[in-house]
Structure 1
């Protein structure tokens, strides 16, 4: 059966690296991390310039004032993505924006007020529902297409990509905006990660998050706020940034609420599925999920070693900007597209390996709690 090619025609993000291509590329080319401490805890926050844009967005429309940052982040990145793709507001494109945690700060504030007053505020429900994200993005862009929100924890954004591709391949849509957004830097959300004993605790180190360091003796995951949006279209588009060559997905049988087998079985299945669909045996680069945890990083590495006869070049962005949960997958796709465009790899300073001679294909991995893995292969 002839496969309909899917083109990526627009891409934008807002993260600790910035919110425009030049700043983001410069950040990837250096060896700095973008962490700061908040209440003696490592976090990755948006920079001052991006926060000013979010502040302006919040005040430009009275309806936006009560919205959570997760929604505002996504509105900003989505506006920039459709601008790059030359989509017009008011056209008929679908929207699927996911989030692992959703309106974290807003929900915590509403719940605190309820405990204090034994009464919920009037907008407590509509502003904290998960569907609130895609519906407000669709409202802002005035699209008349379908709008979908979902949460599949840390693989959320790549599941949004899978869903958007299905709509395009079915012929029910010609354009789909997908992405993920997260604003998790709240006391309760950070406390949840600390309770799992996976959060970085050492505040005196050159690189606080040691994603892709397989000799680390402590977990080093750090939360990040970010949003990333991607424009998908059917066919070989002349303005495409990259083409999706293969996708794969798999779920492990749960042994625990956060289970992932030491062999990374779900990764092995998702990577092999993506390679088979792309009709290739290897890729030049893999942007790994590796969140900086001891077991999680090793499980993915074991799966990669089991899948490829010769290891591709491995890299990730979590050592630099932390883990943005539901947004992280599309941030990894952005990183991959920049490497394709610039024909250079972005190194992890403490993980030494041979450089690829050229970059033609890149695999992006993500996995969420419960072993929900997704692998995506993109080409020039």
Structure 2
């Protein structure tokens, strides 16, 4: 007879984002419906004649938080992960844990792109002797997970999942897997991204994936609106401390919520476009709810992927309907990228934090900038102001989808 799998709980949260320098600051700004988007003031915007001139930068520069030696030795995306992980660890009460039972799982979509491109420019203009000796460990996609592992002595593995915009969410799901399989008691899990740079902007713009509302950056991200014209780049890091219930209770931890279910699938349809009927995405959502041993009628809120692209938003709506049918009528749907921008590999992790805090505060955050709701959106969208989620046990879903056909859904529940 097999023993029941461990219950996975969330005991700590940390973030640095376009809405705040901490998870709590970010959450309060989201509840207030604040936009973290602004015009870019970098000289390279005019130098390269970029068609998109705005993005969502961090509110708190890492230079105000980290030591100079840390900023010099780490690519910005690893810096963001370190800042978020330190906050999450303290928020969890700095747990005492056997290092061989502690793991890190920090994903990214692009990794150390700023280091890579800076090193290439140095090589091209100044020669190989001037390339920074730490360029390779800084640009590696696994450098954030490695940095977090080093910081906290995590020896149960330093894992890096790279699945485009679902990387952060998939890393959290993988962290839950490590605990459920008895491979770790505590996992520092999430995602980080720092890709506000002329090349990613030019590349996404060439795909016609970015909004071009240069005259109104704060209103550019408008999920579900008839005038939506693409997503916008954001940056930041978001980390959750996952823990087995047994370990958390033994040390008297404050348990925020459970990570009850994980669903992962692939579209196998197109390298960038979503499967239009939402077949793969719906399977991930349904699997997450099933994995939580719950029913669709238990689900009260979805933090949607909702990037503000014409095709993607409707594909997700179709997926929600395909997964949950008429039960979706009673789910409060939030598109928080309308405020944060799209943090790529960190997006799902930040939205996991929003999901955990939605349970804590019993509030669904708003979607801003909807002027004319797309008639094809037949879901209950939370617009402009937070929505109370009511009494009783809550079940909340965090959706993340990425180029390559990656689909991840995480189900969080009341504790």
The answer to whether the superposition gives a TM-score over 0.5 is yes
Report the CA distance between 1:55 and its aligned residue.
Answer: 4.3
Contact map agreement 1:161 1:179 (CA 8 A) in 2? yes
Equivalent positions of 1:1-380 (< 5 A) are 2-38=4-40, 39=45, 41-47=53-59, 50-51=60-61, 53-59=62-68, 62=69, 64-88=71-95, 91-92=98-99, 93-119=102-128, 120-205=131-216, 207-213=219-225, 215-216=226-227, 218-235=228-245, 237-238=248-249, 239-254=254-269, 256-278=270-292, 279-282=294-297, 283-308=299-324, 309-311=326-328, 312-349=331-368, 350=370, 353=381, 358=390, 360-380=394-414
CA distance in 1, matches of 2:210, 2:260: 35
How many residues are matched? 372
Indicate the SS of the match to 2:275.
Answer: coil
**Aligned-residue offset at 1:24:** 2.1
TM-score (ref. length: structure 1): 0.92
TM-score normalised according to structure 2 size: 0.84
- 1:210 and 1:258 mapped to 2: Cα distance? 20
Task: Kindly indicate whether the alpha-carbon contact (under 8 Å) linking 2:355 and 2:396 is maintained by their aligned counterparts in 1.
Answer: yes
1:137-168 superposed Cα distances (whole Å, 9 cap, x missing partner): 22222333311223111000111112111211
Aligned equivalents of 2:64, 2:202: Cα separation in 1: 26
**Residue deviations 1:335-360 (CA, integer Å, cap 9, x gap):** 11222111122121326757565261
CA distance in 1, matches of 2:262, 2:361: 23
**Cα contact 1:90–1:144 (8 A) shared by 2:** no
Distance 1:34 1:357 in 2: 25
4+ runs deviating over 4 angstroms: 88-91, 351-357
In 2, are the aligned partners of 1:89 and 1:141 still within 8 Å (CA)? no
1:125 counterpart SS class: helix
Paired residues of 2:263 and 2:287 also in contact (CA < 8 A)? yes
- Which residue is 2:377 aligned to? none
Q: Which digits, 9 at most, give the CA deviation of each residue in 1:217-251, with x for residues without a partner?
A: x5220000110011111126452111012111110
Give the secondary-structure state (helix, strand or coil) at the position aligned to 2:195: coil
